[in-house]
Amino acid sequence: MAMTRRRLLSAAAMTAVAPALGGRAWGAPLPREADIVVIGAGAAGIAAARRIQAANRRVIVVEAASQIGGRCLTDSTSFDVPFDRGARWMHNPETNPMVRLARNAGLAISAASLGQKIRIGQRNARAGETEEFLAALVRANRAIDDASRGKADVSCASVLPKNLGDWAGTAEFVLGANATGKDLRDVSVMDKARAQDRNAAIGCRQGLGVLIARLSEQVPLALSTPASHIIWGGRDVAVATPAGKIAARAAVVTVSSNVLAAGNIKFTPEIPKRQLDAAARLSLGSYDRIALQLSGSPLGLARDDVIIEQSNSTRTALLSAHIGGSSLCVIDVAGSFGRDLSGEGEQAMVAFAVEWLTKLFGSDVAAAVKKTSATRWNASPFALGAMSVAPPGGQPSRKILTEPIGNLFLAGEATHETLWGTIDGAWESGERAAEAALRKIGALGEPATAPSRVPKQRRRGTQGKFN
Ligand SMILES: Cc1cc2nc3c(=O)[nH]c(=O)nc-3n(C[C@H](O)[C@H](O)[C@H](O)COP(=O)(O)OP(=O)(O)OC[C@H]3O[C@@H](n4cnc5c(N)ncnc54)[C@H](O)[C@@H]3O)c2cc1C
């Protein structure tokens, strides 16, 4: 009989204590055996576990945090609408499996509003100015694509056209920090150009963390159970956790590249230097959200308006106003500026958000702030950052991370060559690693030579969107 977490939970007759941000607790003793152990209950881990279950093999997911979702984490209680602390948008709806899964799970999904505006000081950019900016973005993207076909990989910043004028800083923010968590000087043209176009943005009203938790409902998993030591070889694997050891035939490891590179999990034998170096090269950028509950309408903005500013400094941000028509406004900070700011702590982040909004919308903002919350992903011990992006020369590292290491298989957004930094990239990587692990234990035949989900689409300009 297939083991599900529900069965284990009911067998244990335990009292489940739901942590503040969702998720469920494990009440039964940790199983001592599985066919495959999955490390991490983010998008990649849940996808891997579901794929292993679909092949009728025993799986157990061990998760260090007290909730499911990893970098998809929804705070459903602090504000009058859910606050997605991590991933918020699903892109490319025609091919993104998460959109269908959300729909099938009965969650409400809808496209982002088209209300995107640029502030120039305290006024909105005029139509002609917005056109100029969008043209600058197209030229910048084209220069990056062209450079990616060169022999040597270089930084995106080094190939930007020199004549972007007043829009240079804004283009750098939109294509660099805001898109990848790193400034363009730290981003490889090859990695950026290989990234699949992230067109359209589809949100989930209940939150993407809720989606991942919903998709995990039939998956046996243990929360607050970090893998501390993985002993692996050609045939068996043993995963040590504070709740005991699990013996299996293979493991899928989905922890972030920063967690892997930090050595927070001990491996015996050690993971080959080739893969460890690859994880270190694909270090995570910085991306945080500062949530402000504002009374009234001090910004004069409409439901779901998205605002950036014309700026020639990295000290800038992106605002999502009145999310779902609520009083919740979220200011995203990223890249080197976001990293420094989040290092100063939540109070400094909120102070910046208020100062920035005041600069753009006037002095009524401060008095309207009723409640605040800010993420600090770099300091979050089980993530250690936001999303991976390769520096010049680092793009081949993604493929290196997909190579099997005995009976260990790495997954997670960093291992996806075109959808890195996304929830669907993480999901696909989990399925891929699960299939490789199933093949290793003889539970699946050799793969048909399947192409990846969609061939790389050329960037078609910005289609009037900047986030
Ligand atoms: C602020 C922010 C905004 C984002 N916005 C978007 C967006 O709009 N759209 C989009 O598509 N993507 C977005 N992303 C990226 C997206 O969230 C990630 O690509 C994706 O969630 C990564 O999933 P994963 O499974 O690879 O890794 P993770 O979600 O990090 O999962 C790894 C899991 O491993 C666990 N773990 C760590 N150490 C251990 C251990 N020792 N033992 C057991 N478990 C362990 C972690 O707790 C975690 O749950 C955003 C990310 C951030 C941070």
Give the Cα separation of 292 and 322 in Å (integer): 10
**Inter-residue contact 285 to 181 (CB < 8 Å):** yes
**pLDDT number for residue 200:** 84
Give the Cα separation of 168 and 159 in Å (integer): 12
pLDDT value at 4 more than 60 = no
Say what the pTM is: 0.93
Determine if ligand 1 sits within 6 Å of the CB of residue 45.
yes
User: What are the pLDDT digits (tens) for 214-263?
Assistant: 999 999 999 999 999 999 987 899 999 999 999 999 999 999 999 999 99
Determine if ligand 1 sits within 6 Å of the CB of residue 410.
no
Rounded to the nearest whole angstrom, what is the distance from the C-alpha of residue 334 to the centroid of ligand 1? 16
**pLDDT number for residue 450:** 54
Determine if ligand 1 sits within 6 Å of the CB of residue 320.
no
Determine if ligand 1 sits within 6 Å of the CB of residue 82.
no
E strand or H helix that includes residue 329: strand 328-334
pLDDT value at 462 more than 70 = no
CA dist 435 → 48, 52, 315, 337, 402 (Å)? 8, 8, 44, 40, 12
Give the Cα separation of 216 and 4 in Å (integer): 10
Q: What is the DSSP letter of 33?
A: B
User: Which ligand 1 atom is at minimum distance from the Cα of 425?
Assistant: 19
Span of 4-18, 263-277, 298-312 with lowest mean pLDDT: 4-18
**pLDDT number for residue 198:** 82
Q: Which pLDDT band, with edges at 50, 70 and 90, does 26 fall under? A: low
User: What are the pLDDT digits (tens) for 284-317?
Assistant: 999 999 999 999 999 999 999 999 999 999 999 9
**For the residues 417-436, what does the mean pLDDT come to?**
98
| From 180, 255, 318, 416, mutation site for ligand 1 pocket: most ligand atoms within 8 A of C-beta | 255
Span of 14-18, 65-69, 287-291, 423-427 with lowest mean pLDDT: 14-18
**pLDDT number for residue 467:** 47
Span of 14-23, 62-71, 327-336, 397-406 with lowest mean pLDDT: 14-23
pLDDT value at 464 more than 60 = no
pLDDT value at 390 more than 90 = yes
Question: Under DSSP, is residue 421 helix (H, G, I), strand (E, B) or coil?
Answer: coil
**pLDDT number for residue 165:** 95
Determine if ligand 1 sits within 6 Å of the CB of residue 70.
yes
Cβ neighbour number for residue 179 with a 10 Å cutoff: 23
pLDDT value at 23 more than 70 = no
Category of 13 on φ-ψ map: left (φ > 0), alpha (ψ -120 to 50) or beta: left
Give the Cα separation of 463 and 92 in Å (integer): 13
**Residues contacting residue 177 through CB under 8 Å, at least 6 positions apart:** 183, 285, 287, 314, 334, 335, 336, 337, 338
Tell me which residue has its CA closest to atom 6 in ligand 1: 87
**pLDDT number for residue 445:** 82
Tokens matching residue 377: 């992903």
Q: Which pLDDT band, with edges at 50, 70 and 90, does 447 fall under? A: confident
Cα–Cα nearest to 73, from 366, 289, 354, 323: 289
**For the residues 131-150, what does the mean pLDDT come to?**
97
**pLDDT number for residue 449:** 60
**Inter-residue contact 75 to 82 (CB < 8 Å):** yes
User: What are the pLDDT digits (tens) for 96-120?
Assistant: 999 999 999 999 999 987 778 999 9
Span of 10-14, 45-49, 187-191, 194-198 with lowest mean pLDDT: 10-14
What mean pLDDT value characterizes the chain?
A: 91
Amino acid at 418: T
